[in-house]
Each structure stands twice: as structure tokens, then as C-alpha cells.
Amino acid sequence: MGTQTQYGPRTYGNRTNNTWKEEVCDSGGSNCRTETYYVTVQDPGDGGPFGASGNLAGKTTVYKRNDGIIGWLTGQSGDIIVGEIPAYGPNKGKLIRPPNVAPGSPLDNTITHFSEPDNLKRVKNQAILTTKKGMLADKDVYGNDIEPVTDDPEVADKESRKLLDKGSALNPPTGEGDGTTKPAKSIEDREGTRNNFGNYMYPENLGETTQDIIKFDMIKWAKPTKSKAGWGFEREKFNNEQGTRNSIGSVILPIPGGIKDSNKAEWGGKDLDALQMSLYDLANGAITKGTDGAGEAFANIDANIRGSMQGGNLQKAIGTAFAGAAIGKDFKTLSGRFTGQIMNPNMELLFGGPSLRPFSFSFLLAPRSKTEAKQVVQIIRFFKQGMAPIRSKANLFLKSPHTFQLQYKHRGAEHPYLNRFKECALTSCSVNYTPEQSYSTYEDGVMTAYSMTLEFTELEPVYNDDYENNDDGSARVNFASGSGPILPENSEKLPAEIGF
């Protein structure tokens, strides 16, 4: 068989390595005996393409080795399971006993012994040593060749503790009541992937002026986690004081001309005619109140039909409907053609959902010196490489490109009279190398001017409450009046700033 990959599922520990002797006594301290114990630890690695083994991440199983002839013949299958220690969930860190253990039996006494805090701590330390050794090994517990998780003992120690504390599956389970998702074991990037880009500015003396600027901070893409409210998802904000999402590079440019935003909401006309309303009432009554609700709804429908019998319009409509069904024609078309009327559609404009805002910026970059030319080229490279997808080491997956946080700044602070941005993806970077419609270079070959157009789209819609809060959730301060926090419930007037 082939060598198992670095991130493949594996089990650490078996009955022949990292065992230890332990004296266990019955209740009251009598009938003491010294027996051999060992642990195994489950590591699903990246969990495979579907994270199928994620529910096993970091689980420690404690065994009592059978040192008799039966154990020698049967191996681990003849050993006795003392209990399991989950790495997450309501029983995280506790020794969970096997089912059907007789009270007062030797196994019951052994479980009680290892459930004591000092003894349980010793078992957990043994699990760390077993996992660390397994991560450094080039053969699994069955003697098959495997690729070590790492060849660095310090890294192995760190990853072992992380696995046993949090698990390391690709799709780990929900955290213990905190509404979050535990971090996944990251898929290693292909060699040559850049995750640190540096900081650049054009023109190179822009920092010496008081000119308003636009700043582009590049950040690593982060998956959203389950909202603490229990519904939906949230993404950790950029540069959050309690978070770790910091800039991996930035570009500062003068604010270009033609800047604008466009906030949109999806609205559309929807129909609900009498027939659909009747069917809804019938279904809703049956679902919410059972047969009594269905009967009540049917009685209301019958009363409405009887009230609409005047002038024979209803009979004509019903006849037209059946005739249309018989010849495969639309009821509305036939009714309009032969009776000059259609069923009232009760049309209304209804909210259909939010939209994601796009942004576009165009910059003319004309370097005036060698150092400035270098900055211009690096700025173009910054955006083009930063928006490129990232290949995994095994070339099996493509990871999301880096994302960007944009900000208009006035004299070093957030600009109160221009819009704010949510985290954005760079969807297009277009460069015109001859913006003056003629090929022109300096002596060293650098173009005399570059025209760069960037198109971004926000990752999340803008919501009403976003206007009143900072990215970290704290109340905003009114920049214009300096009146302190903006609290909607205490203020009838809007603050003098654009917001989003």
C-alpha cells in the first residue's frame, strides 16, 4: 500500500508502546493490584474531502492490557476499555465509563480510580506523550509507512495539546454553548504562496501631506462561524482588539475621482389571488390546528364562495377554469378573452432580500523616480497576487484568495463624510500599460504611466444596525459633533456622518 499522507486520519498509541503500570485497589484500599494500561488517541487529520471522521477528533480511549495468554493471542481486541475522554462537548475532559459496568466490580473500581483528578491528569499527560510520539513517527500503529505530521518535537508537542484540547477535524463540531465553531486544522498552502505583502504608498511623499487618502488592507480570508445568537453566521472582524485578523499588507493611494456607492434592496411584485389565499388558509389551518383548523378554514371558504355567487360571475369563472384545464390553456388568458375580467391578483411590492454592494476605483500611476517606479510596480503586484486563489500543498483544493478592508481617511482618521466599507473581495484588477495610447518607457524599461482599475464586492450585506456600531460591535462616536456615543434610543436625529 502507498504511504499515508501527512493529513490522513490516524490513531496514536497501541498496546506495545507508551504503556505504564498503575496500582489500583478496591474500595477501602484492599485487594490492590498492579496492572498495565495504555491510551489511544484519534486524529482525523483533515477529515478527508467530507470531514467524515470529524466526530472522533482528539478522543482518548483508556485500555487495561490483558497480559494473559488471551491477550497475547487476541491483541487489543482482548484488552478491556476503561473509558473514553472526549476532546469537546458537555463531557469534555471527563472519563466516560463504558456501558453495563457492574457496581463494585474490579472494572468499576478501576474507573473510579482513574476518575480522581490527580489520576485523570496523569492519564491526560500520557495521552499527550503518546500523541506527540505518533506525530513524529514514520510508521503507524500497524507498522505501515506514513508521512510524519511534523519532524519538529516542539511543533508535535503543540499540536498534540491542541488536538486533545480542541480536536483537529476539517469540520469540527459546534463549541460548548458559546455559539461558535472550533477552528479547523488548516490545509497547508503550496510552497511559494505569499502571506505577507508589505506596505506601499503612491505618491511616495503622500505621507508628508494632509491629503485625504484611501487605504487598502489585505487580510487572510476567514470562514464565518455560527452566530452567538444561534441563527446565521458571523465573521471575525478585521483588526478586532479581541481577534487575530490583522493586516498582511497595505496600499495607500490618493482618493480618485468618480467615487460612489450604491445601496440596493431587492423588492418585487408578487401575486396572491383568491384561489391561492383559500389554499393557504386550508393548509395553515390543518398544520396549526389539525382537522378542526382545516374544517374551520373550509367553512370560511364555503361562506366566501356563497357570498360571491351574485350575478353568476363565480360560476363563469369556475367554468372558464375547467375549460382552460381541459384544453391546456392558462385560466387568466381565457378569462380575459371570453369574460373581459381576470381574478384579482392582489399584487403587492414585497421585500425579497438584501444586495451586496460593488465598488470600482481607477488610478493613474505615473512614477517620477526610480524609487517611486518600484512602488508603483509593487502596488500592481500587490493587488494581482493578493486576489489570486491559493493552491493547497497537495494541489487537491483551492483556497479562497485574500480579502481586503477599505477605508477612506481624512487627516489620519476615518472619513465621516464618505461611505464606510465592509470586508471586500477583489473581483477584478485591470491594468492598462499604455494609458496615453502610446508605448512609452523610461531608460530602465519602466512604463511612464500605468492605469489600474480595481473592482470590489463586499462579502456581507449592509444592515440597519451596522450604521450605529463599529466593526467590533461597540457604539460609534459622532465624528462631526464629538457628542460621544451614538445611541439610537437616546437620539431622535441622525448623526452627521454618511456611515455605509
Residue spans of the domains in the chain: they are 10-166, 198-265+355-462, 267-352
Q: What integer pLDDT is reported at residue 342 of this predicted model?
A: 74
When pLDDT is averaged across residues 464-471 and rounded to a whole number, the result is 77
pLDDT of residue 243: 47
Confidence band for 462, pLDDT divided at 50, 70 and 90: very high
Model confidence at 476: pLDDT above 70: no
Per-residue pLDDT of 314-363, as tens digits, reads 556 666 665 666 666 666 676 667 677 777 788 999 999 999 999 999 99
Give the Cα separation of 343 and 335 in Å (integer): 8
The contacts of residue 182 (CB under 8 Å, 6+ apart) are 88, 166, 167, 172, 173, 174, 175
Do 492 and 259 contact (CB within 8 A), yes or no? no
Cα separation, 260 vs 399, in Å, equals: 31
- Mean pLDDT, range 445-467, rounded to an integer: 94
- Higher local confidence (pLDDT), 269 or 68: 269
Q: What is the pLDDT of residues 115-154, one digit of tens each?
A: 888 888 888 888 888 888 888 888 777 677 778 888 888 8
Retrieve residue 331's grid coordinates. 385560466
pLDDT digits (tens, 9 = 90+) for 96-108: 888 888 888 888 8
The larger pLDDT score, comparing residue 282 to residue 198, is at 198
With a CB cutoff of 8 Å and minimum separation 6, the contacts of 173 are 54, 55, 88, 89, 167, 181, 182
Task: Compute the distance between CA of residue 104 and CA of residue 110 in angstroms, rounded to an integer.
Answer: 10
- Whole-model pTM over 0.85: no
Q: Averaged over 257-276, what is the pLDDT?
A: 89
CA distance linking residue 180 with residue 199, whole number of Å: 33
